[in-house]
Amino acid sequence: MERPKTSYDKNNSKSGYRKEAYSYFNNKYFKDPRNSGFFLFDTNEREQVNKQKLWLPGRIYTFQYDPLYKDSLSYYDRRPIIFVHGVTTSKTGNKILVGINLNFLPEKVRVTVLDYFYQQFKGDYSKSNDILGKVTIIQRAIQFLKNWLGMQKIFDDQAKVGYQFAFRNYIISPTRMKGVTLVENDDWEYIPFLETKDIVGKGLNEIYSEYKNTLTENLKKPKVSPQKEKNIEKRYKS
């Protein structure tokens, strides 16, 4: 697995790479997500994750999604590309997948997010690539992704990303979520160039403009006091 920023800098100059990226993802992950092994370099890990219905924090998944309250949403994505944080249980008993939908972030912001995560856990990601056919859980990523305030400090204060804009919850249900599949690490290089065709309600340019406005507003906000940080962290962990 190559560093995301290195891959982006290398591929950004290639003509037609964006078209190739969507076509590649469409054929490998969208059309027949259960058919792992169809591509020459598929790993058995993807097949095992699909069969066991595992959600691995720090990994990327895609699936078809039908939101429960779509009529009240100003926009939604029928084909999210999710960087998984974990799974929680709602008050109604539903299992909820939480993470960031990378489709809602502009191209260069996706690169920054992926690169920051890779830099944090590059040894673990490389190890997961080396052990073919075995499901690899990145324990350090699980702890890191639970620390919401810590991530906000990294992605807002340091990277100036506004990470929370793309943070979403998805009900894990066979009627709502179909064709779930793990995106292999080596295919991260395509993700910054994907231009989704599955968002309902708003166009990508409008969403990216909303993201930039939200980012500007968030960066102007005063820093949270230490006591308030403790209270937020307590609520997040509960």
Total structural domains within the chain:
1
Residues composing the chain = 238
Question: Hey, how many other C-beta atoms are within 10 angstroms of the C-beta on 127?
Answer: 13
Residue 208: which domain range? 4-237
Would you write out the chain's pLDDT as a tens digit for each of its 238 residues? 889 999 999 999 887 888 889 889 988 898 765 555 544 445 577 777 777 788 988 899 999 999 988 999 999 999 999 999 889 898 888 999 999 999 999 999 999 989 988 888 887 776 665 555 566 667 777 777 776 666 666 666 655 677 788 989 999 999 999 999 999 888 999 999 999 999 999 999 999 999 998 887 765 655 544 444 454 344 334 3
Q: pTM of the predicted model, to two decimals?
A: 0.82
